[in-house]
Amino acid sequence: MSPLFIVARFDFECKNFKELLKKYGMLDAEDGHKVTGRNFAYLKNDAVLLEFALNSWAMEFAEARGYASLIVPNMCKRQIAKCCGVLSSDSASILTYHF
């Protein structure tokens, strides 16, 4: 019986993606944390191009299989946000635009 997966062996120490992105100037965690909070970072330079390339490939892959492309609004009705757990009853007025 063949194994389900093969364990890769390397002659160098493997690094996680955050270490690699920082090393090559593709991640700005410090400014990302300042603006968005902990555990969020900005992608920069080639990482941005890679992100767009992967999104483009995924869209083409899905469309070739009959799925439709869709961009949805970044806003929704207050009641929908409450139902999805995005807003609590008391926080709804904080994130709601009034015209």
Per-residue pLDDT tens over the stretch 36-64: 877 888 999 999 999 999 999 999 999 99
> What three-state secondary structure class fits 74?
coil
Residue 10 domain flag: no
Do 33 and 56 lie in a common domain? yes
pLDDT computed for residue 98 by the predictor: 52
Q: Does pTM surpass 0.75?
A: no
Return all residues near 71 (Cβ < 8 A) that are at least 6 apart. none
Helix H or strand E encompassing 51 = helix 46-63
Residue pointed to by tokens 């194994």: 3
Do 35 and 58 lie in a common domain? yes
Residue 12 domain flag: no
Query: Domain total for the chain?
Result: 2
Residue 50 domain flag: yes
Q: Check whether 74 has a pLDDT greater than 80.
A: no
Residue 4 domain flag: no
pLDDT computed for residue 87 by the predictor: 65
Do 26 and 53 lie in a common domain? yes
Show the domain range for 56: 17-68
pLDDT computed for residue 93 by the predictor: 55
